[in-house]
Amino acid sequence: MKLSLFSLTAVVALSVLLTPASISALPAPSNGVVSFNNHRVVRINVRNEAELKALTDNQDSLGFDYFTHEKVIGAHIDIRIPPQSFSKFQALKLDYSTLVENLQTVLDQEKHENDQYQQVYAAADTWFQGYHSYADHQSWLSTQIANNPGKASKISAGKSFQSRDQAGIKIGSGPNHVVFHGTQHAREWISTMVVEYLIDQLLKGTDSRVAGYLQKYTFHIIPIMNPDGFVITQTSDRMHRKNAQSNGGCLGTDTNRNWGFKWNTGGSSSNPCADDYMGPSAFSSPEATNIAAYLRSLPKVVSYIDFHSYSQLWMVPYGYTGTRPGTYTYMNGLAQKAAAALRAVNGVSFTTGDIYNTIYPASGSSTDYAYSIGVTAPFAVELRDTGRYGFSLPAAQILPSGTETWAAFAAILDNIQV
Ligand SMILES: [Zn+2]
């Protein structure tokens, strides 16, 4: 669907006054919460090299926020466009369709649903029927640990930049370690909920295989890998992706471009205002550094999963190169089993493959790092959906996302070679 023409004399005049940095940083609203009123989310079909260059050349000056990062010809790229940049975007004459006409209306609906949910929360076990505050996630995790003595214990990978705990839970007693987390990217809220659903299943699910899993594996699970960024998405900027380290006037390092393996070798930005900013040096972010150290501290990590959203992908290394690693067939075989098990639950399709060829080149990512230190089956997962709601996946999809991801996770546990 093509957009109707967007007449914006006043906004065009305003955009002349705005520097690129001030567009990227977004205007500070009076109530301290960034408004996305009239921000559009569009999907661009990149037809040739010139169009790719036009996008790249204008991404900073027009304040594009990349929701997906596949920057190659033939790709579909989703971006958020501030209203003051829209006429200039139209002048680029790209082939695009509109996913969201006004992002703020989607966010208002999300907030409305969450507010409604809060009213019924106290009455029943409705944790997976809504999204939650950072404080509530902390208390939920503490409750799980307190309710399962001898089975679960508290872990922490360390402190975030703003000294929040990268808190988690350890479940099971097996010799083979499995580590996974959600919310490395702050705005990807479904990843927090799905990781917590997997915790819930390991602790009290009805799956008859669980007892075997807890003897074979020890699970180390951190629902919120990037707590500072998560708090930003709940207090000031729902679309924040990065951590909270200030870099030259723009907020945050993309921690998933900051890990210390093949850092700064493509698919990341040196511009502190870019949403895939790699940071000034490898492991400059405490969040990535801490998780890496935690992984290295374990004797035998047979799987690591970094849960993201959105795009419905179950991916394996590498992200930094299109050359497949030696054990690609083993890893992608597990990903294919996961995707098949996932699809069998609710009919949702996930694509598998290596990061570089399946989604986009990305260096300094968690999954590549995990593979580099000997984790035999590391995955980067992009959960629901494919762009209809994007990062604001309706709360009604939390449980179905949880049940299907549990099936995928179990398929991996059933088939992993230890
Ligand atoms: Zn992500």
Q: How far is the CA of 306 from the centre of ligand 1 (A)?
A: 9
d(CA 236, CA 238): 7
Q: 96 and 211, same structural domain? A: no
Q: How far is the CA of 243 from the centre of ligand 1 (A)?
A: 12
Range of the domain at 21: 9-101
245 secondary structure, DSSP code: -
Q: 184 and 42, same structural domain? A: no
Number of domains making up the chain: 2
Q: 165 and 31, same structural domain? A: no
Q: 283 and 211, same structural domain? A: yes
Asked whether residue 2 is domain-assigned, the answer is no
Per-residue model confidence (pLDDT) at position 119: 58
Of 67, 71, 74, 76, the C-alpha closest to 103 is: 67
CATH of the domain at 265: 3.40.630.10
Q: 198 and 86, same structural domain? A: no
Q: 144 and 199, same structural domain? A: yes
Q: 180 and 38, same structural domain? A: no
Q: How far is the CA of 122 from the centre of ligand 1 (A)?
A: 31
Catalytic residues: 382
Q: 223 and 86, same structural domain? A: no
- CB atoms < 10 A from the CB of 101, how many? 14
Per-residue model confidence (pLDDT) at position 125: 67
Q: How far is the CA of 42 from the centre of ligand 1 (A)?
A: 18
> If the chain, 418 residues long, is cut into consecutive pieces of 10 residues, what is the mean pLDDT of each piece?
31 32 44 91 93 85 83 85 93 93 92 73 71 95 95 97 98 97 98 97 90 97 98 96 91 97 94 93 98 97 98 96 97 98 97 92 96 98 95 94 97 97
- All residues at 6 or more sequence positions from 282 whose CB lies less than 8 Å from its CB, including other chains: 258, 259, 260, 263, 264, 364
Q: 188 and 319, same structural domain? A: yes
Q: How far is the CA of 187 from the centre of ligand 1 (A)?
A: 8
Q: Of 64, 81, 101, at which residue does a domain stop?
A: 101
Per-residue model confidence (pLDDT) at position 21: 35
Q: How far is the CA of 236 from the centre of ligand 1 (A)?
A: 19
d(CA 314, CA 266): 21
Find the radius of gyration of the CA atoms of the chain.
Answer: 21
Residue type, 332: N
Per-residue model confidence (pLDDT) at position 102: 95
